[in-house]
A = this chain, B = another copy of it.
Amino acid sequence: MTRQRELIYRIVTAAPEHRTAEEIYDLAREEIPSLARGTVYRNLGLLVQAGQIRKLEMDGAPARYDRDPLTHPHLICQRCGRVEDLTMPEALLAPLAEDLGEPITGYELKLYHICPACRG
């Protein structure tokens, strides 16, 4: 754990925000101005691989990073891209998986809305 990686991890996990690599990069440079963008991407990748954080691909927008590595659904504002975590009764998905007769290795559920702030 280098200073850089520790900082990046701290930024992702400190707040419930789901930030983009660029946002993390900007925040991190307040503390380590020499930090390189590549280092941010590299470390985010490593943290994801290590199961410490989660990457959220965003449909035509930069990916965002979630401090909670466990699978759970997200509520996404279609206007500003803000992401909120949802809690999902596992029971909800079970019947669907059962119908398939297929072992499911994971899932991804995104709900879209216009957040109160954007609704005005």
Q: Which residues of B contact A113 (CB under 8 A)?
A: 100, 102-105
Is there a chain B Cβ closer than 8 Å to A32's Cβ? no
Contact pattern, A 62-93, Cβ under 8 Å of B = 1, otherwise 0: 00000000000101001000000010100010
A107 touches B105 (CB 8 A): no
Is there a chain B Cβ closer than 8 Å to A47's Cβ? no
> In the complex the two chains form, what is the Cα distance from A39 to B83 in whole Å?
34
A96 touches B92 (CB 8 A): yes
Interface residues of A in 16-34 (CB under 8 A from B): none
Q: Which chain A residues have a beta carbon within 8 Å of chain B's beta carbons? A: 57, 59-60, 73, 75, 78, 86, 88, 92, 95-97, 100, 102-114
